[in-house]
Amino acid sequence: MDHTELTDIYASLGISAPVLDFAASVEASLKERFAQIDARAEYNQLKVVKAMQDNRVSDIHFAATTGYGYNDLGRDTLEQVYASCFHAEAALVRPQLMSGTHALHIALSGNLRPGDELLSPVGKPYDTLEEVIGIRESVGSLKEYGISYRQVDLLPDGSFDYENIRRAVNEKTKLVTIQRSKGYATRPTLSVEQIGELIAFIKGIRPEILCMVDNCYGEFVETIEPTDVGADMIVGSLIKNPGGGLAPTGGYIAGRKDCVDRAAYRLSAPGLGKEVGASLGLNQSLYQGFFLAPTVVAGALKGAVFAANVYERLGFSVHPNGSEERHDIIQAVTFGIPEAVIAFCQGIQAAAPVDSYVTPEPWDMPGYDSPVIMAAGAFVQGSSIELSADAPIRPPYSVFFQGGLTWYHAKLGILKSLQYLCDAGIVKGF
């Protein structure tokens, strides 16, 4: 294939030659970064294969079960694979865990009892957890069950406020929740090493305090996971990183056996625990998605690093910046004007394999205090390991985007967003 062939196919997808040339120069500057991402993906791929081999995965594990799901070998072995890969004693990996929020709720409510206190030493947790905990009044919250909550914010420079964490820990403190990814906040994402330091500090105060990590968007970004640095539980969503784009639904909890068991008794029923739950024919997608996850995460990371460098070079503020080390797959770009945020999201949508002809518009979503625009043309509804972007229409007019099942598709999405910004006259000089 020659250069013209590639230019032609990009042209047929609406990408102009100047945008393509600019992208090529940015990409050429990222060779070392991409090589580092590939090296981690190689390590993580081997970690997953080793876990599958050690647990003797076989095609009998792909068979469907129905009804109660007793003796679902495929389900039980998949949970062993997750446990082996994450160096945990046990795991709960289920389509019946409906989302990341649900998995986190099960991990928390399974391990906390009335009179216990929950502590977040890393500031305000992800939006949906506010109602789970009862920070915002909500029917069925942990607060309604007599579980109190305390929070210590990060210091202005993003580091842990050890002094106030020590003060916040008391005889009621049962569980500490640590969110790895910044989510849609502006604080930095935590590295696994930093999480390890925080866990060591907590255990130094009282070793029996349980440390849970919200691992959403973090899996396979590094070569170690929080379970390698002392976390008692890690929790995540299968329509993010570990589902590899193939899992159609689900969540996981991996960690200490007693913690995972308590979560299982909460998910099903006391006395039943992990013994029930039909896998309904989803096992193969969950295995295969986990197998692909390290490569898929690498593609998404390349997209995030590429976008940071493209928009940084054009003078916009990007978070994380173009050269920073990555600890999750989320990229934020601040445009300062609503038209730019809208054009960006419409460009992402126009690059999608599904629903590319749809034009996203801002709308008043329930639970948000300003209109929100969302771009997603995904095979799995709501999947954010697939290329997706969303932005609240309010100052400073930042867009958050993540995912991309392949690097080439993530690249097309970013080129398309830039093309839309050029066509709208917001980005000039092309």
Ligand X SMILES: *Cc1c(COP(=O)(O)O)cnc(C)c1O
Q: Please report, as ranges, the residues that interact with ligand X according to CB under 6 A.
A: 99-101, 126, 128, 179, 181, 183, 214, 216-217, 237
Residue 319 CA, distance from chain mean position: 16
Other Cβ atoms closer than 10 A to 356: 12
Residue with tokens 């916009």: 316
Fill in the DSSP letter of residue 193.
Answer: H
Residue 100 or residue 303: which is nearer to ligand X going by CB? Answer: 100
Q: Between 44 and 215, whose beta carbon lies closer to ligand X?
A: 215
Shortest Cβ 217–ligand X spacing (Å): 5
Closest CB to ligand X among residues 41, 247? 247
Closer Cβ to ligand X, 84 or 179, answer by number = 179
d(CA 124, CA 18) in angstroms, rounded, equals 43
Question: Is the bond into 362 cis (omega within 30 degrees of 0)?
Answer: no
Contact between residue 227 and residue 87 where contact means Cβ atoms under 8 Å apart: yes
242 or 294: CB nearest ligand X: 242
Helices (H), 127-241: 127-133, 162-168, 192-205
With beta carbons less than 8 A apart as the criterion, state whether 88 and 82 touch. Answer: yes
Provide the minimum distance between the beta carbon of 215 and ligand X in the complex, in angstroms, as a whole number. Answer: 8
Q: Is 28 exposed, middle or buried (0-12, 13-18, 19+ CB in 10 A)?
A: exposed
Q: Which residue is nearest to ligand X (CB)?
A: 100
CB of 87 to ligand X, least distance (A): 21
**Cβ at position 214, least distance to ligand X in Å:** 5
Which of 329, 131, 104 has the alpha carbon at shortest distance from 233?
104
CB 154 → ligand X: shortest distance, Å?
15
Give min distance, CB of 247 to ligand X, in A: 12
What residues have CB less than 8 Å from 250, skipping those under 6 apart? 93, 94, 95, 96, 97, 98, 237, 238, 239, 243, 282, 286
Residue number, 86 or 420, with CB nearest to ligand X:
86
183/226 with CB nearer ligand X: 183
Least distance in Å: CB of 89 to ligand X?
23
Quick check: bond before 156 cis, omega within 30? Answer: no
Tokens 């640590």 identify what position?
178
Q: Cα 414 vs. chain centroid, distance in angstroms?
A: 19
Nearest to 356 by CA among 332, 336, 375, 383: 375
Backbone phi, psi, residue 281, to 5°: 85, 10
Distance CA 400, CA 358 (A): 19
**CB closer to ligand X out of 99 and 279:** 99
Q: What does residue 322 show for φ and ψ, rounded to 5 degrees?
A: -60, -25
Closest CA relative to residue 34, chosen from 219, 296, 221, 302: 302
Rounded CA-CA distance 51/303 in Å is: 28
CB 267, CB 94: distance < 8 Å: yes
Q: Shortest gap between Cβ of 330 and ligand X (angstroms)?
A: 8
Which residue's CB is nearer to ligand X, number 175 or number 418? 175
User: Smallest distance, Å, CB 133 to ligand X?
Assistant: 12
Measured from the CB atom, the residue of 101 and 120 that comes closer to ligand X is: 101
Q: How far is the CB of 216 from ligand X (least distance, A)?
A: 3
Cβ proximity to ligand X: between 159 and 381 the closer is: 381
Minimum CB separation from ligand X for residue 315, in Å?
28
271 close to 225: Cβ distance less than 8 angstroms: no
